[in-house]
Structure 1
Amino acid sequence: MPNPIKLPEGSVCWPVAALSTAAQNVHHAQTCLHRPRAGDNVVSGVTRWERSYADSCAWIEWDWLEMSEGTVAQADPLNVRSNVLLLDERGRPLLSSRRRATLATLVYLLPWQGPVLDRLRLGDVGPRRTARSGPARARQRALA
């Protein structure tokens, strides 16, 4: 039996067929930096993108890591948090596995790296080391 999808209050429904249009109307809302911990100077953070409606706001957010100077990547491409309920062709909610994959595709379509790199340039994160030891190790450090 599939896991039920738990969404925050104020969820917004999007038909999967409208995903490419939704990607064009979503804008960068904020990017937060996580200060490196002592002994681990890898910079990471969270970025959020939104689409406003008359009475609600759809949002998606995900964690990222600085892999090298000028290069950022998602910490976990299938871990996209959102208040968006995706609906199939019949108007039924997608299974959680398909929802995760579809939201990952939406993130792929967004030009999110630019705003994150701008925030890194403006942010005072102190001395830092990039995650050169590979994505799996970097992901472990970011999630620890």
Structure 2
Amino acid sequence: MSTLIHLPEGSICWPVAALSGAAQDVRHAQTRVHLARSGERRAGGTTRWERCYADACAWLEWDWVELDEGTVVQADPLNVRCNVLLLDEHQRPLLSSRRRAMLATLVYLLPWQGPVLDKLRGLEAPRRVARAAQRLAA
């Protein structure tokens, strides 16, 4: 049985010990908003954060939902998609459960709500117009 790990192309390896430092180096890349269907006020979306190197880019992304105006939360804190392989102190990949917990901790350390709320504020005028049109149609 082979002990080699086959990583998807473009994967980045990060030692777990460097994870808290990664939180300072990872930057907001993009936020996508999925406006709520008619009759609902809440929006949702995806935000993506990256750490680019000379020859590759590590990325993490997760889904979020708007609970109320000015309040956004992760849709599922243990569902962080990324191209990062986390390595333990012996340079072995973390078990899936520990990896999920470590990625959730990294997201917790990031100031991700600010860029998401900025994006929502930028869409606020069109959202108000849509809500007003819905009220008039009702």
Shorter-normalised TM range: 0.7 to 0.9
Give per-residue Cα distances to partners, 1:95-125, cap 9 Å, x unaligned: 1111010000000000000000000000244
Q: Distance in 1 between matches of 2:121 and 2:33?
A: 11
TM-score (norm 1): 0.80
Change (3 A) 1:8 1:45: farther
Q: Distance in 1 between matches of 2:90 and 2:18?
A: 13
TM-score (norm 2): 0.84
**Identity over aligned pairs, percent:** 72
Q: Distance in 2 between matches of 1:7 and 1:74?
A: 27
Which residue number in structure 2 is paired with residue 47 of structure 1? 47
Change (3 A) 1:75 1:122: same
Q: CA deviation at 1:68?
A: 1.1
Q: CA deviation at 1:51?
A: 0.2
In structure 2, the gaps of 5 or more residues are 133-138
Higher share in helix: 2
Q: Distance in 1 between matches of 2:39 and 2:119?
A: 23
Aligned residues: CA RMSD: 1.9
User: Are the aligned partners of 1:31 and 1:119 in contact in 2 as well (CA < 8 Å)?
Assistant: yes
Which residue number in structure 2 is paired with residue 107 of structure 1? 107
Partner of 1:42: helix, strand, or coil? coil
How many equivalent pairs are there?
Answer: 124
Q: Distance in 2 between matches of 1:17 and 1:59?
A: 18
Q: Distance in 2 between matches of 1:118 and 1:90?
A: 41
Alignment of 1:33-112 (within 5 A): 33-112=33-112
User: Are the aligned partners of 1:78 and 1:104 in contact in 2 as well (CA < 8 Å)?
Assistant: yes
Change (3 A) 1:50 1:72: same
Following TM superposition, the consecutive aligned residue runs of length 4 or more in structure 1 with deviations greater than 6 angstroms are none
Higher RCO (C-alpha 8 Å, min separation 6)? 1
Which residue number in structure 1 is paired with residue 131 of structure 2? 127
Give per-residue Cα distances to partners, 1:32-91, cap 9 Å, x unaligned: 000212343320010000000000000000000111111110000000000000000000
Q: CA deviation at 1:7?
A: 6.1
Which residue number in structure 2 is paired with residue 140 of structure 1? none
